[in-house]
Amino acid sequence: MTTNASSSTGAAAPLRIAIAGASGRMGRMLIEAVLQADDCQLAGALDQPGSPALGQDASAFLGRPSGVPIVSDLREGLAQAQVLIDFTRPEGTLAHLQVCRELGVKLVVGTTGFSDEQKGQISEAAQDVAVVMAPNMSVGVNVVMRLLDMAARALNQGYDIEIIEAHHRHKVDAPSGTALKMGEVVAAALGRDLKECAVYGREGVTGERDPSTIGFATVRGGDIIGDHTVLFAGTGERIEVSHKSSSRAGYAQGSLRAARFLADKPSGLFGMDAVLGWA
Protein backbone atom coordinates (compact mmCIF):
# COMPACT_ATOMS: atom_id res chain seq x y z
CA MET A 1 0.00 0.00 0.00
CA THR A 2 1.33 3.41 -0.90
CA THR A 3 1.90 6.01 1.79
CA ASN A 4 0.09 9.32 2.15
CA ALA A 5 3.16 11.46 1.49
CA SER A 6 3.21 15.16 0.63
CA SER A 7 4.04 16.16 -2.91
CA SER A 8 7.04 18.24 -3.89
CA THR A 9 4.82 21.34 -3.76
CA GLY A 10 4.06 20.71 -0.09
CA ALA A 11 0.39 19.88 -0.63
CA ALA A 12 -0.90 16.84 1.22
CA ALA A 13 -1.80 13.83 -0.88
CA PRO A 14 -5.55 13.24 -1.13
CA LEU A 15 -7.24 10.96 1.36
CA ARG A 16 -7.84 7.61 -0.34
CA ILE A 17 -11.41 6.48 0.29
CA ALA A 18 -13.24 3.27 -0.60
CA ILE A 19 -17.03 3.02 -0.72
CA ALA A 20 -19.10 -0.03 0.29
CA GLY A 21 -22.42 -0.66 -1.42
CA ALA A 22 -21.10 1.26 -4.41
CA SER A 23 -24.09 0.66 -6.70
CA GLY A 24 -26.73 1.63 -4.12
CA ARG A 25 -28.39 5.01 -3.66
CA MET A 26 -26.14 6.06 -0.78
CA GLY A 27 -23.07 4.48 -2.34
CA ARG A 28 -23.49 6.52 -5.50
CA MET A 29 -24.00 9.71 -3.52
CA LEU A 30 -20.78 8.99 -1.62
CA ILE A 31 -18.84 8.28 -4.81
CA GLU A 32 -20.02 11.55 -6.32
CA ALA A 33 -19.05 13.44 -3.15
CA VAL A 34 -15.57 11.89 -3.09
CA LEU A 35 -14.96 12.73 -6.75
CA GLN A 36 -16.02 16.34 -6.15
CA ALA A 37 -13.75 16.79 -3.12
CA ASP A 38 -10.31 18.18 -3.94
CA ASP A 39 -8.74 16.56 -0.89
CA CYS A 40 -10.16 13.07 -1.46
CA GLN A 41 -9.56 10.30 -4.00
CA LEU A 42 -11.75 7.31 -4.83
CA ALA A 43 -9.53 4.30 -4.07
CA GLY A 44 -12.00 1.42 -4.09
CA ALA A 45 -15.63 0.46 -4.69
CA LEU A 46 -17.25 -2.61 -3.14
CA ASP A 47 -20.51 -4.43 -3.78
CA GLN A 48 -21.90 -7.80 -2.82
CA PRO A 49 -21.20 -10.94 -4.88
CA GLY A 50 -23.73 -11.34 -7.65
CA SER A 51 -24.35 -7.63 -8.07
CA PRO A 52 -24.87 -6.72 -11.74
CA ALA A 53 -22.64 -3.70 -11.15
CA LEU A 54 -19.50 -5.79 -10.59
CA GLY A 55 -16.77 -4.93 -13.07
CA GLN A 56 -18.31 -1.61 -14.02
CA ASP A 57 -16.53 1.68 -13.46
CA ALA A 58 -17.67 3.04 -10.09
CA SER A 59 -18.63 6.43 -11.54
CA ALA A 60 -20.17 5.22 -14.81
CA PHE A 61 -23.55 6.53 -13.59
CA LEU A 62 -22.08 10.05 -13.70
CA GLY A 63 -21.07 9.68 -17.33
CA ARG A 64 -17.37 9.97 -16.58
CA PRO A 65 -14.87 7.25 -15.67
CA SER A 66 -13.00 7.09 -12.36
CA GLY A 67 -10.75 4.18 -13.29
CA VAL A 68 -12.00 2.34 -10.20
CA PRO A 69 -13.96 -0.87 -10.91
CA ILE A 70 -16.68 -2.17 -8.57
CA VAL A 71 -15.48 -5.43 -7.00
CA SER A 72 -16.73 -7.93 -4.44
CA ASP A 73 -13.33 -9.08 -3.17
CA LEU A 74 -12.77 -7.05 0.01
CA ARG A 75 -8.98 -7.19 -0.01
CA GLU A 76 -8.86 -6.15 -3.65
CA GLY A 77 -11.26 -3.27 -3.06
CA LEU A 78 -9.44 -2.04 0.04
CA ALA A 79 -5.86 -2.56 -1.14
CA GLN A 80 -5.23 1.14 -1.88
CA ALA A 81 -7.64 2.68 0.63
CA GLN A 82 -6.98 4.50 3.87
CA VAL A 83 -10.65 4.80 4.87
CA LEU A 84 -13.77 2.78 4.01
CA ILE A 85 -17.19 4.47 4.20
CA ASP A 86 -19.91 1.91 4.83
CA PHE A 87 -23.70 2.41 4.65
CA THR A 88 -24.79 -1.19 4.11
CA ARG A 89 -26.30 -3.82 6.45
CA PRO A 90 -25.01 -4.88 9.89
CA GLU A 91 -23.75 -8.28 8.68
CA GLY A 92 -21.94 -6.73 5.73
CA THR A 93 -20.40 -3.97 7.83
CA LEU A 94 -19.05 -6.48 10.36
CA ALA A 95 -17.47 -8.53 7.56
CA HIS A 96 -15.90 -5.37 6.16
CA LEU A 97 -14.72 -4.40 9.63
CA GLN A 98 -12.70 -7.56 10.08
CA VAL A 99 -10.82 -7.05 6.81
CA CYS A 100 -10.31 -3.35 7.59
CA ARG A 101 -8.83 -4.40 10.91
CA GLU A 102 -6.43 -6.79 9.21
CA LEU A 103 -5.34 -4.24 6.59
CA GLY A 104 -5.25 -1.18 8.86
CA VAL A 105 -8.00 0.59 6.92
CA LYS A 106 -10.04 3.05 8.98
CA LEU A 107 -13.81 2.87 8.86
CA VAL A 108 -16.73 5.31 8.81
CA VAL A 109 -19.90 3.40 9.73
CA GLY A 110 -23.25 4.88 8.71
CA THR A 111 -25.01 1.52 8.89
CA THR A 112 -27.82 1.22 11.44
CA GLY A 113 -29.71 -1.65 13.05
CA PHE A 114 -26.84 -3.18 15.03
CA SER A 115 -27.60 -5.35 18.05
CA ASP A 116 -25.81 -4.66 21.34
CA GLU A 117 -23.59 -7.67 20.66
CA GLN A 118 -22.67 -6.37 17.21
CA LYS A 119 -21.89 -2.93 18.65
CA GLY A 120 -19.57 -4.71 21.07
CA GLN A 121 -17.73 -6.32 18.16
CA ILE A 122 -17.19 -2.89 16.62
CA SER A 123 -15.90 -1.49 19.93
CA GLU A 124 -13.49 -4.39 20.25
CA ALA A 125 -12.15 -3.94 16.70
CA ALA A 126 -11.69 -0.21 17.34
CA GLN A 127 -8.87 -1.10 19.72
CA ASP A 128 -6.81 -1.80 16.59
CA VAL A 129 -8.28 0.50 13.93
CA ALA A 130 -9.95 3.91 14.09
CA VAL A 131 -13.73 3.93 13.57
CA VAL A 132 -16.36 6.67 13.42
CA MET A 133 -19.82 5.22 14.01
CA ALA A 134 -22.99 7.30 14.19
CA PRO A 135 -26.67 6.61 13.53
CA ASN A 136 -26.73 9.67 11.30
CA MET A 137 -23.78 11.32 9.56
CA SER A 138 -25.61 14.55 8.73
CA VAL A 139 -24.08 17.56 10.46
CA GLY A 140 -27.55 19.09 10.68
CA VAL A 141 -28.98 16.04 12.48
CA ASN A 142 -26.15 16.11 14.97
CA VAL A 143 -26.81 19.79 15.67
CA VAL A 144 -30.45 18.79 16.32
CA MET A 145 -29.20 16.24 18.87
CA ARG A 146 -27.56 19.07 20.79
CA LEU A 147 -30.73 21.13 20.63
CA LEU A 148 -32.76 18.19 21.94
CA ASP A 149 -30.53 17.87 24.98
CA MET A 150 -31.15 21.53 25.81
CA ALA A 151 -34.89 21.30 25.13
CA ALA A 152 -35.38 18.17 27.22
CA ARG A 153 -33.62 19.70 30.22
CA ALA A 154 -35.85 22.78 30.06
CA LEU A 155 -39.07 20.89 29.31
CA ASN A 156 -38.56 18.26 32.00
CA GLN A 157 -41.98 18.67 33.63
CA GLY A 158 -45.46 18.69 32.14
CA TYR A 159 -44.50 17.69 28.60
CA ASP A 160 -45.18 14.39 26.83
CA ILE A 161 -42.46 13.35 24.41
CA GLU A 162 -43.11 11.60 21.10
CA ILE A 163 -40.62 10.86 18.32
CA ILE A 164 -41.97 10.53 14.78
CA GLU A 165 -39.79 9.34 11.90
CA ALA A 166 -40.45 8.60 8.22
CA HIS A 167 -38.29 6.82 5.64
CA HIS A 168 -38.54 5.21 2.21
CA ARG A 169 -40.15 1.85 1.64
CA HIS A 170 -36.81 0.04 1.33
CA LYS A 171 -35.54 0.76 4.87
CA VAL A 172 -35.34 -2.50 6.80
CA ASP A 173 -34.98 -1.39 10.44
CA ALA A 174 -37.47 0.49 12.61
CA PRO A 175 -37.42 2.81 14.40
CA SER A 176 -34.51 4.37 12.56
CA GLY A 177 -31.14 4.57 14.23
CA THR A 178 -31.46 8.35 14.24
CA ALA A 179 -34.83 8.20 16.03
CA LEU A 180 -33.41 5.86 18.64
CA LYS A 181 -30.42 8.13 19.17
CA MET A 182 -32.76 11.09 19.60
CA GLY A 183 -34.62 9.08 22.21
CA GLU A 184 -31.40 8.25 24.00
CA VAL A 185 -30.37 11.91 24.06
CA VAL A 186 -33.73 13.02 25.45
CA ALA A 187 -33.88 10.18 28.00
CA ALA A 188 -30.35 10.90 29.24
CA ALA A 189 -31.16 14.61 29.63
CA LEU A 190 -34.18 13.63 31.76
CA GLY A 191 -32.25 11.08 33.82
CA ARG A 192 -34.13 8.14 32.33
CA ASP A 193 -33.12 4.88 30.63
CA LEU A 194 -34.64 4.64 27.15
CA LYS A 195 -34.81 0.85 27.38
CA GLU A 196 -37.18 1.21 30.33
CA CYS A 197 -39.35 4.14 29.14
CA ALA A 198 -39.66 3.68 25.37
CA VAL A 199 -43.03 2.78 23.84
CA TYR A 200 -42.77 1.54 20.25
CA GLY A 201 -46.38 0.88 19.35
CA ARG A 202 -49.93 1.49 20.53
CA GLU A 203 -53.03 -0.45 19.60
CA GLY A 204 -56.39 -1.09 21.20
CA VAL A 205 -57.37 0.20 24.63
CA THR A 206 -54.02 1.38 25.95
CA GLY A 207 -55.22 3.48 28.88
CA GLU A 208 -53.98 6.96 29.61
CA ARG A 209 -50.49 7.89 28.54
CA ASP A 210 -47.77 7.30 31.14
CA PRO A 211 -46.01 10.70 31.41
CA SER A 212 -42.65 9.04 32.03
CA THR A 213 -42.62 7.30 28.64
CA ILE A 214 -41.07 8.37 25.34
CA GLY A 215 -43.18 7.27 22.38
CA PHE A 216 -42.04 6.33 18.88
CA ALA A 217 -44.05 6.34 15.65
CA THR A 218 -42.67 4.96 12.39
CA VAL A 219 -43.75 5.72 8.82
CA ARG A 220 -42.46 3.83 5.78
CA GLY A 221 -43.36 4.72 2.21
CA GLY A 222 -42.30 5.99 -1.18
CA ASP A 223 -38.89 7.57 -1.54
CA ILE A 224 -38.79 9.60 1.70
CA ILE A 225 -35.10 10.25 2.41
CA GLY A 226 -35.53 10.77 6.14
CA ASP A 227 -37.73 12.94 8.35
CA HIS A 228 -37.45 13.13 12.15
CA THR A 229 -39.50 15.16 14.60
CA VAL A 230 -39.38 15.19 18.39
CA LEU A 231 -42.62 16.53 19.84
CA PHE A 232 -42.81 18.01 23.32
CA ALA A 233 -46.57 18.25 23.96
CA GLY A 234 -47.57 20.35 26.97
CA THR A 235 -50.72 22.05 28.16
CA GLY A 236 -51.62 24.81 25.73
CA GLU A 237 -48.51 24.45 23.56
CA ARG A 238 -46.43 22.07 21.49
CA ILE A 239 -42.73 22.37 20.71
CA GLU A 240 -41.40 20.44 17.71
CA VAL A 241 -37.73 19.96 16.90
CA SER A 242 -37.43 18.60 13.37
CA HIS A 243 -34.93 17.66 10.71
CA LYS A 244 -36.01 16.79 7.17
CA SER A 245 -33.68 15.48 4.49
CA SER A 246 -34.41 16.34 0.86
CA SER A 247 -31.23 14.64 -0.38
CA ARG A 248 -28.62 12.14 0.79
CA ALA A 249 -25.97 14.77 0.08
CA GLY A 250 -25.93 15.85 3.74
CA TYR A 251 -25.10 12.31 4.84
CA ALA A 252 -22.33 12.11 2.25
CA GLN A 253 -20.71 15.41 3.25
CA GLY A 254 -20.85 14.46 6.93
CA SER A 255 -19.23 11.12 6.08
CA LEU A 256 -16.36 12.84 4.31
CA ARG A 257 -15.93 15.07 7.35
CA ALA A 258 -15.72 11.93 9.48
CA ALA A 259 -13.19 10.36 7.09
CA ARG A 260 -10.98 13.45 7.29
CA PHE A 261 -11.23 13.33 11.09
CA LEU A 262 -9.89 9.76 11.06
CA ALA A 263 -6.88 10.60 8.88
CA ASP A 264 -4.49 10.97 11.84
CA LYS A 265 -6.21 8.60 14.29
CA PRO A 266 -4.47 5.21 14.74
CA SER A 267 -7.35 3.58 16.64
CA GLY A 268 -10.41 4.29 18.76
CA LEU A 269 -14.19 4.45 18.44
CA PHE A 270 -15.58 7.94 17.82
CA GLY A 271 -18.99 9.53 17.29
CA MET A 272 -19.99 12.59 15.33
CA ASP A 273 -19.66 14.65 18.50
CA ALA A 274 -15.91 14.07 18.30
CA VAL A 275 -15.84 14.78 14.56
CA LEU A 276 -17.59 18.11 15.15
CA GLY A 277 -15.31 19.05 18.05
CA TRP A 278 -17.86 18.66 20.83
CA ALA A 279 -16.09 15.83 22.67
Based on the residue annotation, tell me whether 119 is a catalytic residue of this protein.
no
Q: How far apart are CA 67 and CA 80, in angstroms?
A: 13
Q: How far apart are CA 160 and CA 210, in angstroms?
A: 9
With beta carbons less than 8 A apart as the criterion, state whether 167 and 226 touch.
yes
What beta strand segments (E) does the chain contain? Answer: 15-19, 40-46, 70-71, 83-86, 106-109, 130-133, 160-167, 198-199, 214-220, 226-233, 238-245, 268-270
* Residues sharing a CB contact under 8 Å with residue 69, sequence separation 6 or more, in sequence order: 45, 55, 56, 57, 58
Which amino acid is residue 277, in one-letter code? G
The closest of 8, 78, 34, 92 to 260, measured between CA atoms, is: 34
- Residue 263: CA atoms inside 13 Å, Cβ hemisphere, count? 17
* Residues sharing a CB contact under 8 Å with residue 136, sequence separation 6 or more, in sequence order: 110, 142, 177, 178, 181, 226, 251, 254, 272
Helix (H, G, I), strand (E, B) or coil at 188: helix
Based on the residue annotation, tell me whether 181 is a catalytic residue of this protein.
no
Among candidate residues 106, 119, 170, 171, the one labeled active-site is 171
With beta carbons less than 8 A apart as the criterion, state whether 84 and 75 touch.
no
Among candidate residues 106, 167, 228, 243, the one labeled active-site is 167
Helix (H, G, I), strand (E, B) or coil at 75: helix
The closest of 165, 202, 166 to 182, measured between CA atoms, is: 165
Q: Catalytic positions, please?
A: 167, 171
